[in-house]
């Protein structure tokens, strides 16, 4: 298979395996999704989902959030790691949302990326999952598998995102990025597949003999 054929096959097979793609992070609105994605940096979705109910019970919108102190937020989100930085970012971005965006999360990539603690990946997730705007957020699973499947050379996540956007139709992006994550977690985890073991690797590269390493994000 050439690269385009692999992309076509991968998209088709992922749709068969994961026709439904629930968002892994529990949330009730665009604000709680934004906060959950921010907290997921260097933390598992499972742990975030254990932490956020207590936070969102107290504050599920910016106006409620700034009524909490940064110390209160930090105490709740501590299990997610990087708590001082994340708590400060949550409080500050809530204040900005109130002052500059009418207490609403803006459906604008540049505006999102200007918020404290919100990088390109976080903004992309919110644009895709809250507002339905085509985006291809690249997390560590996607960055790794895109290299494993030789869809990118993996120089960095920025290049990986560009390469995947070129290969896959725009209308697939929002669902496909979740499907790749689900596949990586279930069938091709970092410590469980060396490029030779899982179905996708075997089908796309039937003659591959050597294990594959990848460049980390």
- Which residues are known to be catalytic? 121, 139
Q: How far is CA 161 from CA 53, 58, 68, 89, in A?
A: 31, 36, 36, 25
CA 184, 188, 190, 191 torsion-angle sign = positive
- Residue 137: which of 176, 166, 169, 89 has the closest Cα? 176
Q: Are 23 and 129 in contact (CB under 8 A)?
A: yes
Question: Quick one: DSSP state of residue 120?
Answer: H
Task: Label residue 80 exposed, middle or buried (CB < 10 Å: 0-12, 13-18, 19+).
Answer: buried
């Amino acid at each position: 298979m050439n690269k385009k054929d692999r992309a076509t096959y991968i998209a088709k097979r992922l749709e068969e395996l994961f026709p439904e793609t629930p968002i892994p992070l529990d949330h009730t609105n665009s604000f709680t999704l934004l906060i959950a994605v921010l907290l997921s940096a260097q933390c598992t979705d499972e742990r975030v989902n254990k932490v956020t109910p207590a936070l969102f019970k107290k504050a599920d919108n910016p106006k409620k959030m700034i009524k909490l102190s940064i110390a209160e937020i930090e105490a709740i989100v501590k299990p997610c790691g990087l708590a001082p930085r994340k708590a400060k970012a949550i409080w500050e971005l809530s204040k900005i949302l109130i002052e500059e965006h009418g207490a609403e999360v803006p459906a604008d990539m540049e505006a999102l990326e200007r918020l404290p603690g919100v990088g390109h990946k976080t903004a992309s997730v919110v644009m895709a999952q809250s507002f339905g705007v085509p985006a291809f957020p690249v997390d560590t699973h996607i960055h790794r598998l895109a290299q494993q499947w030789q869809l990118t050379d993996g120089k960095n996540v920025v290049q990986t995102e560009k390469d995947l956007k070129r290969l896959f139709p725009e209308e697939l992006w929002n669902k496909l990025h979740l499907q790749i994550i689900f596949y990586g977690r279930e069938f091709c985890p970092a410590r469980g597949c060396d490029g030779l073991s899982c179905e996708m690797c075997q089908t796309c590269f039937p003659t591959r003999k050597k294990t594959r390493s990848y460049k980390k994000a």
